[in-house]
Amino acid sequence: MKTTVTYEELLEELMQIRLQLKEANETIEAIRIGEVDALIQQSAKGHELLTIKKANQTYRLFIEKMKEGAVTLNEDGIILYSNSQFASMVNLPLTKIIGFPMTNFIPKEVKDFFKIIIIKGWKSDSKGEILIKNKNNEMIPFLLSATSLELDEGPALSIIFTDLTAQKAQQRLLQIKNEQLEIARQKADKMNEELEEIVKERTKDLFLSREYFKFLADNTPVMIWTTDADGKLDYVNRQWHEYTGFDVEQSRTKQNELIHPDDLENSSAAWKKAMKDKKKYEQKVRFKRISDGIFRWHFAHAIPFQDEQGNVTAWFGTSIDINDQIMELERKDEFITVASHELKTPLTSLSGYIQLLQSQTNLPHNLKMYVSKAHDSATKLQHLINDLLDFSKIKAGKLKFNMDIFDLSDFINSCIDNCKYIYSSHTINAELEKGIMIRGNAERLEQVVMNLVSNAVKYSRENKEIIIRTEKDNAFAIVSVIDFGIGMSPSDQTKIFERFYRVEEKKNRIPGLGMGLYISSEIIKEHNGEITVKSKLNEGSVFSFSLPLANSM
């Protein structure tokens, strides 16, 4: 027998072994992917046909393509089969896996646990999670599912390795999200509780303020009502209900029964205007008192309640029964009418006798002086009584007069001549626009100008300049009497044209009846004009009245 082997022979043998190995690998690969179901092997016993039992090509392909690692072990724990996924998990070629003990691929630390899964798997399906090192030497969590199989060659155990990295990451993410959700839920719960507390407080506050409002409204001797932003009545207090006999609904729908028919139109027009202008509503109106069915005068007043943007959100109204005061005023007016007429006759004869005395040329000097003083006093009295008579005429609607067309500046100049004579203490300057023709009653208009100048003198003792100005303003002539005297507050300015109204001036009280401006304004109204005042306390006043131009009528 030849014992020495030459180098060439050895090389030849190595080539043969390499070829066989290549063939074997190709065969294994072909079997794995199902290209080959059987093969013939040459052995000592001659040619032998090896078939792959139950090697259904579909399943083999399926196992090869799946993401999970799959191995089959025999009873000794030797790997009979591995898919390429498992090979790539442990980063070894299949030739280094198949035929080797499974425990070779299990880290030391988890070997015991692995064995338990295997032992259980031989009895029935078993599962467990273990960590296995991957190709990058990282410990990767895997789920192992072991199931025993009965092959022709004997019992086998199939193990599926499912990589849990993504699932774990997903679980961690889910856990984080859950934790965040829990924190958010707790915060929301807390906010909810706080909100509930605030709502409870506010509801209590609201309830209390509503109760306070109701208590106040029901225990005030005034009728109180409110409307919504559109002016629709939505509340009336106890007094209203008791006085009118109407609740909110009835008060809204039975206006015709509630308000005197003669006042309906005016009050509704005033209400519409107040709503349009968002300004306070003030109106004298007669409401029917349910207890005796009598219409009584009321002063109705309402103010708009506005939000920060200036939108009206509600109206708050009050109505006060002023019937007794109105009756009182009417009695006073009646008394003035009667008294002025009664005074007129004796004053006329008194003036007559004074004139008679004045015409006596042989009167001693001191008597002449007394007669002259009596004449002055009688003239003053005459003015007062004239005012009272005018007032009575106005009340009776009898302030009527004839109108003529005349030149305004001529007219004012003649008034100034008179004033200069009567009010010599003050300087009256004229600023007159020429050529303004007006239509009016010169006597009555002179009464107005004299009254305004008389007031300017009375209420400006320090500054003695008075200006009378005339000018045109569209279809009107404007006459202004300007002084630099004590002036008046804005609230007084709105009231001085009312009869008997006088500004309360404690010190330095100036005598007067509070009728001059009332009569003047009525005279100007009768001329289809308007009288107004602009004034500042301690700076002076400008009283102006307008008259339609003669050619505009």
Q: Which residue is nearest to ligand ADP (CB)?
A: 512
Report the distance separating Cα 355 and Cα 181, nearest Å.
110
| Beta carbon of residue 464, minimum distance to ligand ADP (angstroms, whole number) | 13
Contacts of 509 (CB under 8 A, 6+ apart): none
| Beta carbon of residue 374, minimum distance to ligand ADP (angstroms, whole number) | 23
What does the DSSP 8-state code read for residue 459? T
Residue 505: helix, strand or coil by DSSP?
Answer: coil
Q: Which of 75, 69, 111, 110 is nearest to 92 (CA)?
A: 69
Nearest CB to ligand ADP, comparing residues 180 and 489: 489
Nearest CB to ligand ADP, comparing residues 106 and 515: 515
Let me know: does 358 contact 371? Beta carbons within 8 Å: yes
Report the distance separating Cα 419 and Cα 428, nearest Å.
8
| Beta carbon of residue 501, minimum distance to ligand ADP (angstroms, whole number) | 6
Buried residues in 409-431 as b, exposed as e (16+ CB within 10 A): bebbeebbeebeeebeebebeee
Nearest CB to ligand ADP, comparing residues 131 and 513: 513
DSSP 469-484: EEEEETTEEEEEEEE-
| Beta carbon of residue 457, minimum distance to ligand ADP (angstroms, whole number) | 9
Buried residues in 287-297 as b, exposed as e (16+ CB within 10 A): bbbeeeeebbb
| Beta carbon of residue 378, minimum distance to ligand ADP (angstroms, whole number) | 19
| Beta carbon of residue 507, minimum distance to ligand ADP (angstroms, whole number) | 13
Nearest CB to ligand ADP, comparing residues 69 and 516: 516
| Angle formed at CA 453 by CA 447 and CA 457, multiple of 5 degrees | 140
Helix axes 408-422, 442-458, angle to 10 degrees: 40
Q: Which of 92, 99, 90 is nearest to 142 (CA)?
A: 90
Nearest CB to ligand ADP, comparing residues 326 and 503: 503
| Beta carbon of residue 460, minimum distance to ligand ADP (angstroms, whole number) | 7
| Beta carbon of residue 409, minimum distance to ligand ADP (angstroms, whole number) | 22
Residue 78: helix, strand or coil by DSSP?
Answer: strand
What phi-psi label fits residue 154: left (phi over 0), alpha (psi between -120 and 50 degrees) or beta?
left
| Beta carbon of residue 491, minimum distance to ligand ADP (angstroms, whole number) | 12
Report the distance separating Cα 21 and Cα 432, nearest Å.
134
Sites of contact with ligand ADP (CB under 6 A): 455-456, 459, 483, 485-488, 496, 501-503, 512-518, 541
| Beta carbon of residue 410, minimum distance to ligand ADP (angstroms, whole number) | 25
Report the distance separating Cα 551 and Cα 477, nearest Å.
11
Token code pair at residue 83: 């898919």
| Beta carbon of residue 528, minimum distance to ligand ADP (angstroms, whole number) | 21
How many CB atoms neighbour CB 90 within 10 A? Answer: 19
| Beta carbon of residue 493, minimum distance to ligand ADP (angstroms, whole number) | 9
Q: Which of 553, 536, 528 is nearest to 545 (CA)?
A: 528
Single-letter amino acid, residue 455: N
Nearest CB to ligand ADP, comparing residues 240 and 459: 459
Sign of the torsion angle spanned by Cα atoms 129, 135, 137, 138 = negative
Nearest CB to ligand ADP, comparing residues 158 and 535: 535
Dihedral in degrees, nearest 10, Cα atoms 145, 149, 154, 159: -20
Nearest CB to ligand ADP, comparing residues 106 and 519: 519
Nearest CB to ligand ADP, comparing residues 18 and 461: 461
Nearest CB to ligand ADP, comparing residues 71 and 452: 452
Look at strands 404-407 and 437-440 and give their pairing: antiparallel
Token code pair at residue 158: 């199939």
Contacts of 297 (CB under 8 A, 6+ apart): 284, 285, 286, 321, 322, 323, 326
| Beta carbon of residue 214, minimum distance to ligand ADP (angstroms, whole number) | 42
Nearest CB to ligand ADP, comparing residues 337 and 493: 493
| Beta carbon of residue 455, minimum distance to ligand ADP (angstroms, whole number) | 3
Nearest CB to ligand ADP, comparing residues 130 and 450: 450
Nearest CB to ligand ADP, comparing residues 167 and 463: 463
Nearest CB to ligand ADP, comparing residues 301 and 393: 393
Report the distance separating Cα 447 and Cα 451, nearest Å.
6
